[in-house]
Amino acid sequence: MAFPAFFHEAPRIVLHDPLAQMLGASDDGQIEYGYEDAVRLAGHSCPTVAGAWLMTVKALQALYPDSLPQRGDILVEFADEATNGVTGVIANVVCLITGATTDTGFKGLAGQHDRRYLLKFDQSMAGEIRFTRRDTGTSVEVSYSAQGVPGSPAAMPLLQRILSGQADAAQQQEFGALWQDRVRRILEAHDQPGLVSLSWVKSATHA
């Protein structure tokens, strides 16, 4: 199986994970993540997965301008409930990168490296997701809108034919190409105004 080339060309991020370093999974604790890792986790590539990827990368780049983000030391809060819409899909991608979990993550060793209770839902905020550095309390909120990168008008009629069992192999292939073309354009437009909106939280009390 080969992923589309643009998966690897999307913005990438390197984090430092002290737990991975201590347990010998990485000699220096540095782990690089790419969009293809999010696709492997989700099992598909779509505008939602792309948005989750870009929101997380941009939030962490803002929070750690001069150092590597510290995986496992970042609090992540969502405005929506976990089961609302695509929130769960987005949260899975965020968890992959940050290490944050609800009550199901690693319990830690001697009180250190506990990954639980770092992922919260149904929180009051202006944005969609709030990321907080637990060492400094600095917070940033991000939101995502792909309306500025519309899909092909031909995509949805093709999707309806596929879902109704009426599409032939050529139409299925055409739909997949059109679908991923939009994802590519979203990832390539990662700095486009309005795609990912970021705002600093003046008073961080969530660390």
- Range in 42-46, 105-109, 113-117 with the lowest mean pLDDT: 105-109
Last residue in a domain, options 103, 122, 141: 122
Within this chain, do residues 155 and 99 fall inside the same structural domain, yes or no? no
In a domain, 144, yes or no: no
Q: Residue 124's pLDDT is what? A: 97
Last residue in a domain, options 85, 104, 122: 122
In a domain, 143, yes or no: no
Q: Residue 205's pLDDT is what? A: 47
In a domain, 71, yes or no: yes
* pLDDT tens, residue by residue, 50-76: 999 999 999 999 999 999 999 999 999
Q: Which structure tokens are listed for 38?
A: 């999010």
Q: In Å, how far from its chain's centre is CA 124?
A: 20
Nearest-angstrom CA–CA distance, 43 and 54: 17
In a domain, 145, yes or no: no
Do the beta carbons of residue 34 and residue 7 sit within 8 Å?
Answer: yes
Supply the pTM of this predicted model: 0.94
Cα→Cα distances 15→29, 50, 57, 200, Å? 8, 19, 10, 21
* pLDDT tens, residue by residue, 123-182: 999 999 999 999 999 999 999 999 999 999 999 999 999 999 999 999 999 999 999 999
In a domain, 127, yes or no: no
Within this chain, do residues 23 and 103 fall inside the same structural domain, yes or no? yes
Within this chain, do residues 14 and 115 fall inside the same structural domain, yes or no? yes
Q: Residue 203's pLDDT is what? A: 60
Within this chain, do residues 43 and 97 fall inside the same structural domain, yes or no? yes
Within this chain, do residues 34 and 78 fall inside the same structural domain, yes or no? yes
In a domain, 110, yes or no: yes
Q: What angle is formed at CA 31 by the lines to CA 113 and CA 33, rounded to 5 degrees?
A: 115
Q: In this structure, how many other beta carbons lie within 10 angstroms of the beta carbon of residue 111? A: 7
Within this chain, do residues 27 and 79 fall inside the same structural domain, yes or no? yes
Instruction: Pick the closest to residue 130 from 74, 83, 84, 82 (CA basis).
Output: 74
**Phi, psi (5° rounding) for residue 198?**
-130, 135
CA atoms within 13 A on the CB side of 74: 30
SS (H, E, C) the chain: CCCCCHHHHCCCEEEECHHHHHCCCCCCCEEEECHHHHHHHHCCCCHHHHHHHHHHHHHHHHHCCCCCCECCCEEEEECCCCCCCCHHHHHHHHHHHHCCCCCCCCCCECCECCCCCCEECCCCCCCCEEEEECCCCCEEEEEECCCCCCCCCCHHHHHHHHHCCCCCHHHHHHHHHHHHHHHHHHHHCCCCCCCEEEEEECCCCCC
pLDDT band at 97 (very low <50, low <70, confident <90, very high): very high
Mean pLDDT within 4-13: 97
pLDDT band at 114 (very low <50, low <70, confident <90, very high): confident
Domain of 97 in residue numbering reads as 6-122
Within this chain, do residues 97 and 160 fall inside the same structural domain, yes or no? no
Q: In Å, how far from its chain's centre is CA 203?
A: 24
Asked if residue 112 has pLDDT above 90, the reply is: no
Within this chain, do residues 158 and 89 fall inside the same structural domain, yes or no? no
- Range in 21-35, 99-113, 168-182 with the lowest mean pLDDT: 99-113
Domain count, the chain: 2
Asked if residue 207 has pLDDT above 80, the reply is: no
In a domain, 204, yes or no: no
pLDDT band at 110 (very low <50, low <70, confident <90, very high): confident
Asked if residue 1 has pLDDT above 80, the reply is: no
In a domain, 201, yes or no: no
Q: What angle is formed at CA 105 by the lines to CA 196 and CA 17, rounded to 5 degrees?
A: 65
Last residue in a domain, options 76, 103, 122: 122
Q: Residue 204's pLDDT is what? A: 45
